Amino acid sequence: MTMRLDMTKWLVPAVGIVIGILMAIALMGQHASPGQIALSLVFVVGYAVVVQVLARHSDVAAVLAGHPADERWSTINDRALSLAAQVTAVVLVTAFLVASFAGGDAIPYAWVGAVLAVSYLAGIAWFRARS
Amino acid sequence: MTNDVRRLREERGLSQGQLATELDVSRQTVNAIETGRYLPSLPLAFSIGRLFGRPIEEIFHDDEAGHD
């Protein structure tokens, strides 16, 4: 039995590279300059690579890289994610209300909020079934 | 909850880092357990018990239940 939780080690770098490439393609479609395209690619991919490299020396970097050092760091990661999700929900509701009262387009906020709500409910159902 | 992890570790002449290596956790986690800031999971508590050759209830104490 191991205490070290084996989250997918290369998930964060892989996602970073995929997002970086997609951003570069999107910028190419907008006829951005090669410098802008390179900068966006370096920024996103660089973040993924840096946290992956630093993860060997820093527990915080290990969390950011997607492989917490142990169960305590995994719990810290879960709590931080929960806090971030709650803050995001409050910001989304606020943005939705502000956009609605200002006569702006509130639909994107509603969609993101709906995704958040549905994934939360799905998470409850999934983890209830597994515990 | 209180525990005797620090005392047991020191009795065996282990540093926090050495105990962390034995348990496959970070040194900060060992420190958090010793100071009561973090309650280990049941599997980790069993690992601690095995390492020190004692049952869990001899290492971790429920303050609310009182001691016999």
For residue B47, which residues of chain A lie inside 8 Å, CB to CB? 1, 3
Q: Residue B45's pLDDT is what? A: 97
Mean pLDDT of B29-34: 96
Q: Residue A3's pLDDT is what? A: 47
Instruction: Supply the pTM of this predicted model.
Output: 0.80
For residues A94 and A32, which has the higher predicted lDDT (pLDDT)?
A: A94
Q: Residue B47's pLDDT is what? A: 97
For residue A70, which residues of chain B lie inside 8 Å, CB to CB? 24-26, 29
Q: Do A73 and B43 touch (CB under 8 A)?
A: no
Q: Output A12-21 pairs: Cβ under 8 A, ≥24 positions apart.
A: A12/A48, A12/A51, A12/A52, A12/A64, A12/A65, A12/A66, A13/A48, A13/A49, A13/A52, A13/A65, A14/A48, A15/A48, A16/A44, A16/A45, A16/A47, A16/A48, A16/A49, A17/A45, A17/A48, A19/A44, A20/A44, A20/A45, A20/A48
Q: Residue B34's pLDDT is what? A: 97
Q: Residue A8's pLDDT is what? A: 64
A/B interface, count of CB pairs below 8 Å: 35
CB proximity under 8 Å: A 41-100 to B: 59, 69-73, 75
